[in-house]
Structure formats: structure tokens, C-alpha cells
A and B are shown apart, each in its own frame.
Chain A
Amino acid sequence: MAHLLEVRDLKKHFAGRLGLFAGSAKKTVRAVDGVSFTVDQGETLGLVGESGCGKSTLVKTLLYLEVPTSGEVYFDGQRLTEKEAMRLRRRAQIVFQDPYTSLPPRMRVGDIIADPLLIHRLADRRSVRERVNQLLEDVGLQPETADQYPHQLSGGMRQRVGIARALSVQPALVVADEAVSALDASVQSQILNLFKDLQGHLDLTYIFVSHDLGVAKYMSHRIAVMYLGEIVELAATEELYAHPLNPYTRALLSAIPSIHRDGRERIRLEGEPPDPANPPPGCKFHPRCPIAQKICAQEAPQLKEWLPGRYVACHFALDSDPAARGGLVSGA
């Protein structure tokens, strides 16, 4: 079966700022450094990682909001180029993190939602109002909201407007870039459920970017974990949370505060995430890794399928941590 989206060896490098004076070193930040994955119709792929790991750049690059440095993106089996970005804009949409900055401050909500329809000539001036009202209803807003400005709405309502705008062109893929992390707890769950309901009704495919592992777990069928511009583990959600195979994933999961003190041991990572402009050689995680060996400093592990459907970039994915191995065997 053809995948809805296929990303092959995607790279996005940012040239460091050239200094005012000659001699200041030019550094390249490899924000996304060779990422490959696929997303199938109707599924949700969660993309998790700490800030600066490149997850946000990755989704912006695959949507051609940023021009990739290299790599290929296939949508509906067809390779995308920058020139075809317009076609992509009808099929793939994005919902941004900050509902306070992602809506144009001086446009009315109705105009914000109508604009994509007018750009892609999906509605004429007369039918557009009707369509806008329908979209507002779909995301749980009153039709009167159309006449308001974003600053008159609460954060949750703004995020609903952002979702309505994304849905207006009836896209196949919606990328949610930390779409709920700026919202308060009580509003966050409403928006998450809205995303879920819309997926059911409209057969949407999601890429759900989040630094919050709880949110990612709730939303995603499969999860990709990123560290310094690379995917280090990719697996079905339940399996990843139950038996993480990459030591970084394990540390990340153990760091989440829990409302139940279940006595689990927290894995303490030494040091801080390295400077992305100057990553360590070999496996980028090795200076902080509790199980690092000699080879880790020399050779970068490739992302490969260690178990069916379980992709891990680690030299010791299966034979490293006794706890993980035990977990796999017992299945508990």
C-alpha cells in the first residue's frame, strides 16, 4: 500500500550567521539530519523530543514551509518539489503552537477561515460565508465568532479557529505543531478530543508534534522520538511506552513526573543536550548515555528495524538494558 506521506533522508541545515568580521567561524546547525519515515492514511504519527531536537523544523521542512537542504518528500506517492508546494497546501495543513501569534491580529475570524477557500478558489464570495459557518460549527464555535478579532477570543477558542482554518481546504494531512502546549490543562483536553473527533469524521491523518509524552501517547498510533535532528526510535505507541529500546527514550520516559509514586527508578542523564552546531562524534547521545561503549563514540548507529515495526538507532538496542530485555520477555 502506498503511504500518504513518505519522507526520505530529509535534511535541513542552517548556515550559522556569518560574522561581521572575517575570521569568525561559520557553523552549520544540522537541525534535521537525515530523517526518514512514512505516514499512512488515517493514522497519527507522534513526534516527540526535547526542545531544539528539530521536530518543529522537521515538520516545517516536510511541508515546504522551509526549503529542505536535501532529501525527498513523497505525497500520495508523488515526489514534491518546491514548485508544487501549492498542490501540497491543499492537501496538507498545519496548526501552530501559539494561538496568540499564529492568527493574523487584524483580521476577523471569518476572514481568516475564508482566506484559504478564496486562495484555492474552493468557494466564491457568496458561498464562503456558509462554509465558514459550517467550519466554525465543526470545531465547536458559534457562528457569531466569525465577526470577532482573535484578541477577543480565549486561547482555546483561538486554537479552534486555527484548526478550522487548517480544515477549510479539506486536507488529507494535518500537522499539529505543539498545538496544545500553550493551552491550560482544562482546555488542552478539549482540543485533544476535538482533534480525535475530527480524525474520525474526516478520515484525517495527523503528525502530532509534542514535547509532552502524555499528549503524544494519547493522540498517536505510532511515535517517533527525536534527538538532535535524528529519529532515534520509532515504534507503535504502546510498545514504545512499555518497552523503550533506545536508552534515550528510556531516560525521557522515566523523567516524566507521575501522580502515582510507583517507586520506579529515575534514569539520571549526565550533562546537558549538546550544542546542535557542534554535536559529538559517533552516536550523538553517547556522552550522556548510561550504557555507552567504545563503539558509540566512533560510529553513529543507523535507524534500523530490530524487531518487527520497531526502529531503533542504537548499537545496543536489544542487549543493553536488562530491565528492557526482561520487560520484552515477560511482556509485562
Chain B
Amino acid sequence: MTDLATAGISPEAVAASAPARTHILRQLLKRRTFVIGAAGLTIIVLIALAAPFLAPHDPMTQDLGKGLAPPFWAKGGSLDHPLGTDTLGRDVASRLMYGARNSLVIALFAVLIASVLGLVAGLSAGFSRGWWDPLLMRFGDVQLAFPFILLAIAILGVISDRSAVHLILVLGIPTWILYARVVRSRVLAERDKDYVLGAKSIGASRMRQMWRYILPSVWSAVLVIAMLDFGFVILLEATLSFLGFGLTPPTPSWGSILAEGKRNMIISPWLAVLPGLAIMLTVLAINMTADGAADVLDPKLKISVFRRTPLKKPANATWTDLEGRAAASTRSQPVATKDEMGPPTLLEVSDLSVEFPLPDKVVKAVRHVSFDVHRGRTLGIVGESGSGKSVSAFSIIQLIEPPGRVTSGEVLFEGRDLTRISNYDMAQLRGIKIGMIFQNPASSLNPVLSIGSQMVETIRLHLKVSPAEARDIGSQALLNVGIGNPQAILSRYPFQLSGGMNQRVMIAMAMLTRPDLLIADEPSSALDVTTQAVVLERLREITREHQTSLILITHDIALVAEFADEILVMYAGQVCEVGPVRSVIDDARHPYTRALLQSVPRAEIESGKRLQAIPGEPPDPAELPPGCPFADRCVSVMGICRQVNPSQVRVRPHHDVACHLWSSDKDEEKV
């Protein structure tokens, strides 16, 4: 699971945070590789275009008396021929400029032909479900198996008077397959997405589905390949000219100048170096442009940019700063369950805040959250996506990946502050004293190892036992989570088991070390209703049996109502309401909790009744209002709600609410 996902920030949202398509140019200009490459390319193109005005001589005029003159900086050189002359006395500078014209024009048209051919072929192949696709692709395979240069030489060799058109066709047509393959694979990925089915459902013809719906999603790939191909074709053209199969002499081209330079390597080395340099710089400029553009045009690469900047804990706030804030918050918040009756506190989270800095904003995923987990009890954390429920829980075990970071707070577990212990110590706790269960069990288990070998490995990591003993322990653990035939399951692989079975295996593995605390993130959301109940009941039984505390994170308040002892309702990164389950469910005080209880359609309420929908949408976690984040959607909103973020007040034993409706003296409630 990616960290952005735990924060409730979908890749889409990240993409959306970047400016829309109209601002692609602005984004491109932010990339240094692109700017340098594009600038270099522009200069080369301008020189090529202005060749008739810039060139000091006609590129084809010979002057045998002046053969092999050196460039102006070398001994015997003159500014009349700034880069010297070749064997026939032609001006090298002029020939390079005109050569650039030829190279660029040939490459441009070759790329155009190839990309159009490739795009059409790739689209039609990817979209066809019949014989056309294999036919086209096998043809491409055959063509790729044939050495391209050899083919080009064979064709060009028989043409005595080779013009640019010949080269364009020979260099352009065969490269279609490069485009076609990428376009086809993109189309294959796109065509089964719902939006293409949606296009079909509104009656769009196949052509329309292809051109209007799929094409916009694949053209950017073509653009990037075309840019890379552009450099490649320039190299190929030079190669062919070098070998004597390029434009018929005396038409200037970089490759032929290079070939001539090779013959005079000893006497006039610049003759080979200069065209080589021109080719290299051009291709380098093109590739840099393409690389820079690929980052912007390919949205998949965009996200990886965030992952590259690791940010070590502790966060950049100073310790004194943190402690000061933590102390201040404990004073202002009446969360003191320790002195009251109940089982001892295992975990004490206070004033926890987590932020995710994005390029242009900061997502405040968790804001000053405090809660306790008691030994052997289950705390259910309920909230919508983006409410910070998962981030809160995962910051307990310091599993917030960069760029996310804990900016304040304390997580006291057995007397130690987990936000401040070393990574090594944290690793000793994680998976041993604190277990984890994730939403998707299949992706948490290793797909290429059998259940047995994964369990044996985990057991032997913690206990000094033989593999056979470990297997026995594993089989007992599976029995404990209600798997009737553990021996059979041990020899299976995760993909051979159903989601519910995999999730039970995950629970068994998490419980192997008898953890004190188990964090379960939507453990049943990926499962079917009938399996969900069985898995959760097992989870409840086994945690009770071992006096393990459980944090159950879910979006389903009914699930918490049934399986948890205490409930914590989160909204926009804050705690709305926290308390014993029955107290909160039967006598919800926060308008959000109430609305949540009323707005979800349930099988047990009578039909015909209209749902009390909560208007609006949750606020953007990067642009939170100064007051209560729920104010805009709240039915009981007051003036103060938009100005002051409410702090928690105790309304009943153990039952706290962060809402101005319940604060006794609203004027004193200052943040």
C-alpha cells in the first residue's frame, strides 16, 4: 500500500493538484532537462533555418586550391572559412549548416510518417479483438527480426539518385512498429476501462470510441516516443550517409562529412570531429527535451517524484517546540481516562499531527488527535476516506512514508514515545509487540511462497524452534482462526485461497507473536458480507483470548458498533467524537456522528423513509477552514463554528465531543 493511499490521497488527487492540461507548458518550463534540451534544439533549428543567410559560402562550391584548410583557431586558419574546408575546398561551416537542414527535415518527416502509421496500426490492433491484431503484430515481429540497417542499405543501394524523399520513406515506414507496440499496449490497458464501456453504452461507434475516447489517453505516449525517435533517426541518417547510402553527393549531410573526415583523420582531425560534435549535440538536445517532456506528459512518473524525497524523523520541528505544544495540548484537553475506572491504558496518543507536503500545498492529514487504547479492548476508528483514520493508526507504528511526517504529538506505548525511538527499536516492536492487518490480504502475503513457508519463516524469526516445530505452531495458529484443515492450507499459495481465507491467514500470522496491540485497517472491506462477519468474529475472539488490544479502522460505523468497545469518529483529520460504543451510537452528540448514523441506508430501517443526506463534501485537507471543518455541512452551525475550531468537551463518562454545541463556556474555548 502506498503511503499516499493511506492518507486518503488518491493518485488522481495528486494529478489533480498539478495544474490542468492548459498549463502543461508552464510545468515543462519548470524542468531543467527540458529547458536546456529545448533551448539547444531551438538554436540548432534556427541555425538550420537561417543557413542561406548565415552560411559564408555555397556548400557545394569547390575550390581545390583551398583544400583541407584548418579552422580559424588553428594555425593557418582564417575567418573566411571559420571551420576550415574539406578535401575539395568546400566550406565546412556552410556544409554543416546545410547538413543540419537536411538531417532535420529528413528526420522530421520520417518521424511524422512513422508516428502516424504506428498510431493507426497500434490503435486498430489494440482495439480489434479478432485476427487483425495478431496479424499486424506478427508482421512487426518479423520486421524487427530483420536487421534494419541492412534493409535500408539494400533498398537505398539500388537507387542511384537518392533524394530526401527516399531517405524519409526508408527511415520512416519501418519504424512504425516502435510506435505501434507502445500504442497497442496503452490501448489494451485503456480499452477495458469503464469509460470505454461507457462510450459504448451511450452508443458511440467503434471509430468514435477509438478516436474520441481512447486516442486522447495515448497520444502523449506517441509524442514522447516521437521525440526519442527523432534523435534516433538523425543518428540513422548520419550512419547511412557515413556508409555512402545517404543523400547522393555532393548534397551535404553530417554523415558524409564525417565519412570524408575519416579518410583524412591524420591530416585534419577537425573534419571528423566537427560533424560528430554536431550529431552528438543535436541528439543530446533532443533526448533531454524528450526526457523532460516524458516526466510531465506521463502522469505515472509524476507520483514517483514524491517518493524520491525521503524525510527522516524527527521532523524539522525542534524537540522543545514539540514538547511545548504537547504539554499545552494536554492542559487544554480534558482527555484523562487514566484516573477513571477501566482496564489499564496500553497506548496513549496525544496531540498527534501528520502532514503531507505536496509540491504546491500541504495536506494536513491528521490534526492534534488524542486517544487511548486500553488493554484487551477494541477501539474502532470510523471516518470517510481522507478523514485521517488510517494515517493516525499508521503513525503509531511510524509507518508514514515520506513525504508524510509527524509534525507534533506523542505516542506512548509501554512508557516509550514511539515518535522518538530509533528506527531499530521501532522495527523490534513492529510485527512483534504491535501487529498489523491490511485491507487487501492477497497483496500483503508473498505471492510466490506457500502459506506454510511464510508462516514458518515468521515463527522462526521470533522463536528458536526447528522448521517442523514451527510448522506445528503455524498449523495450531490456523486452527485458532477457524481454519479447519490447516495442513492443506499450509501447502497452498495465497492466490489459491479466497480473500476471506487469506485474511484469516493474515490474522493468524499477526497473532503468532502474541502482540499487545493489533492494528487492522479495513480488514473486512475487501471481503463479502457473509465472509466479513466470520472473519471479524474470529478476530474478536482471538484478540479477547490473548488480551490483545485492537484498533479497528473502518468506514462502516455499523461494523464498529458491533465489534468495538470504544469508538473514535474522525472528520477532516480531527476527532469529532470519542467514547464507549453504546454511549456514542445511542446518544451521539456531534452533528457529524448523528448525520452519519442517519444518512447511511441500513437494512434494518424501514423503506420509504427518505435519507437525511449530509449536504456538500468534506473540505480539502490542504485548505482547511479556521473554524470547525464540519461547519459548512452542519445543520446546527453557529457563528462561532466558522471562527474557532472546537476542542473536546466531556459530555458523559468517557464520552468526549469536539463541538461548540456542548462547550459550557464558549468564550473560554480558544485554540
Residues of A near any B CB (own CB < 8 A): 50-51, 60, 63, 65, 85-86, 89-90, 93-94, 96-98, 100-107, 115-116, 119-120, 149, 151-152, 154, 156-157, 162, 165, 168-169, 184-190, 192-193, 196, 211-215, 217-219, 237-238, 241, 251-253, 255-262, 266, 268-269, 272-273
Q: In the complex the two chains form, what is the Cα distance from A56 to B528 in whole Å? A: 15
Interface residues on B, range: 35 or more
| Stretch with Cβ within 8 A of A (4 or more), from B135-143, B170-178, B508-516, B557-565 | B557-565
Q: In the complex the two chains form, what is the Cα distance from A54 to B205 in whole Å? A: 27
Contact A104 B195 (CB under 8 A): yes
Contact A50 B193 (CB under 8 A): no
Contact pick for A269, options B194, B534, B600, CB 8 Å: B534
Given known A105-B217, A119-B204, contact A259–B607 (CB-CB < 8 A): no
Contact pick for B528, options A51, A97, A196, CB 8 Å: A51
Contact A217 B202 (CB under 8 A): no
Q: In the complex the two chains form, what is the Cα distance from A188 to B605 in whole Å? A: 17
Contact B558 A258 (CB under 8 A): yes
Contact pick for B607, options A211, A217, A255, A272, CB 8 Å: A217
Is B595 on the interface with A (CB-CB < 8 A)? yes
**Minimal Cβ-Cβ distance residue in A for B602:** A214
Q: A50-B530, A218-B601, A259-B561 are known contacts; what are 6 more A-B pairs with Cβ within 8 Å?
A: A96-B194, A186-B633, A192-B613, A213-B529, A217-B602, A258-B558
Contact A103 B198 (CB under 8 A): yes
Name the A residues within 8 Å of B537 (CB-CB).
Answer: 266
Q: In the complex the two chains form, what is the Cα distance from A152 to B216 in whole Å? A: 17
Contact A272 B599 (CB under 8 A): no
Is B201 on the interface with A (CB-CB < 8 A)? yes
Residues of B near any A CB (own CB < 8 A): 10, 12, 15-16, 20-21, 193-195, 197-205, 208, 212-213, 216-217, 384-385, 498, 500-501, 528-534, 536-537, 555-559, 561-563, 585, 595-597, 599-607, 610-615, 617-618, 633
Contact pick for A273, options B203, B384, B498, B597, CB 8 Å: B498
Contact A185 B384 (CB under 8 A): yes
Given known A215-B601, A256-B603, contact A90–B614 (CB-CB < 8 A): no
Name the A residues within 8 Å of B611 (CB-CB).
Answer: 189, 192-193, 218
Name the A residues within 8 Å of B10 (CB-CB).
Answer: 100
Contact A193 B213 (CB under 8 A): no
Given known A105-B195, A105-B217, contact A272–B603 (CB-CB < 8 A): no
In the assembled complex, the CB of A124 is this many whole angstroms from the nearest CB of chain B, namely 17
Contact A186 B202 (CB under 8 A): no
Name the A residues within 8 Å of B198 (CB-CB).
Answer: 94, 96, 102-104, 162, 165
Name the B residues within 8 Å of A96 (CB-CB).
Answer: 194, 197-198
In the assembled complex, the CB of B221 is this many whole angstroms from the nearest CB of chain A, namely 13
In the assembled complex, the CB of B134 is this many whole angstroms from the nearest CB of chain A, namely 14
In the assembled complex, the CB of A201 is this many whole angstroms from the nearest CB of chain B, namely 15
Contact pick for B559, options A168, A192, A257, A261, CB 8 Å: A257
Contact B612 A189 (CB under 8 A): yes
Q: In the complex the two chains form, what is the Cα distance from A260 to B558 in whole Å? A: 8
Contact A101 B532 (CB under 8 A): no
In the assembled complex, the CB of B666 is this many whole angstroms from the nearest CB of chain A, namely 26
In the assembled complex, the CB of B526 is this many whole angstroms from the nearest CB of chain A, namely 9
Q: In the complex the two chains form, what is the Cα distance from A330 to B530 in whole Å? A: 27
Contact A165 B603 (CB under 8 A): no
Name the B residues within 8 Å of A257 (CB-CB).
Answer: 532-533, 536, 556, 558-559, 561-563
In the assembled complex, the CB of B595 is this many whole angstroms from the nearest CB of chain A, namely 7
Of the A-B pairs whose beta carbons lie under 8 Å apart in the complex, a sample of 26, sorted by A's number, is A89-B202, A96-B198, A102-B195, A106-B21, A119-B202, A154-B617, A168-B202, A169-B203, A184-B385, A186-B618, A190-B613, A211-B528, A212-B601, A213-B603, A217-B602, A238-B607, A251-B530, A252-B530, A256-B529, A256-B602, A256-B603, A257-B533, A257-B536, A260-B561, A268-B534, A273-B498
Contact A149 B20 (CB under 8 A): yes
Name the A residues within 8 Å of B533 (CB-CB).
Answer: 255, 257, 266, 268
Given known A184-B384, A252-B529, contact A258–B199 (CB-CB < 8 A): no
Name the A residues within 8 Å of B15 (CB-CB).
Answer: 151
In the assembled complex, the CB of A48 is this many whole angstroms from the nearest CB of chain B, namely 9
Name the A residues within 8 Å of B599 (CB-CB).
Answer: 185-186, 188-189
Q: In the complex the two chains form, what is the Cα distance from A238 to B200 in whole Å? A: 36
Q: In the complex the two chains form, what is the Cα distance from A266 to B600 in whole Å? A: 21
Contact pick for B617, options A85, A115, A187, CB 8 Å: A187
Name the A residues within 8 Å of B595 (CB-CB).
Answer: 186
In the assembled complex, the CB of A223 is this many whole angstroms from the nearest CB of chain B, namely 10
Q: In the complex the two chains form, what is the Cα distance from A60 to B196 in whole Å? A: 13
**Minimal Cβ-Cβ distance residue in B for A66:** B197
**Minimal Cβ-Cβ distance residue in A for B195:** A104
Contact B600 A188 (CB under 8 A): yes
Name the A residues within 8 Å of B200 (CB-CB).
Answer: 65
In the assembled complex, the CB of A204 is this many whole angstroms from the nearest CB of chain B, namely 16
Name the A residues within 8 Å of B615 (CB-CB).
Answer: 190
In the assembled complex, the CB of B32 is this many whole angstroms from the nearest CB of chain A, namely 26
Name the B residues within 8 Å of A193 (CB-CB).
Answer: 610-611, 613
Name the A residues within 8 Å of B20 (CB-CB).
Answer: 149, 152
Contact pick for A169, options B202, B532, B563, CB 8 Å: B202
Q: In the complex the two chains form, what is the Cα distance from A115 to B236 in whole Å? A: 44
Contact A253 B603 (CB under 8 A): yes
Name the A residues within 8 Å of B534 (CB-CB).
Answer: 268-269
Contact A260 B202 (CB under 8 A): no
Name the A residues within 8 Å of B217 (CB-CB).
Answer: 104-106
Given known A101-B193, A102-B194, A217-B603, contact A255–B561 (CB-CB < 8 A): no
Name the A residues within 8 Å of B16 (CB-CB).
Answer: 151-152
Given known A50-B529, A184-B618, contact A258–B203 (CB-CB < 8 A): no
Contact B614 A217 (CB under 8 A): no
Given known A100-B10, A261-B562, contact A149–B603 (CB-CB < 8 A): no
Given known A93-B201, A106-B216, A169-B202, contact A214–B601 (CB-CB < 8 A): yes
Contact B195 A119 (CB under 8 A): no
Contact A214 B600 (CB under 8 A): yes
Q: In the complex the two chains form, what is the Cα distance from A212 to B212 in whole Å? A: 35
Name the A residues within 8 Å of B531 (CB-CB).
Answer: 272
Given known A65-B197, A192-B611, contact A185–B603 (CB-CB < 8 A): no
Name the A residues within 8 Å of B498 (CB-CB).
Answer: 272-273
Q: In the complex the two chains form, what is the Cα distance from A262 to B585 in whole Å? A: 14
Contact A260 B604 (CB under 8 A): yes
Name the B residues within 8 Å of A106 (CB-CB).
Answer: 21, 216-217
Name the B residues within 8 Å of A162 (CB-CB).
Answer: 198
Name the A residues within 8 Å of B610 (CB-CB).
Answer: 193, 196
**Minimal Cβ-Cβ distance residue in B for A148:** B20
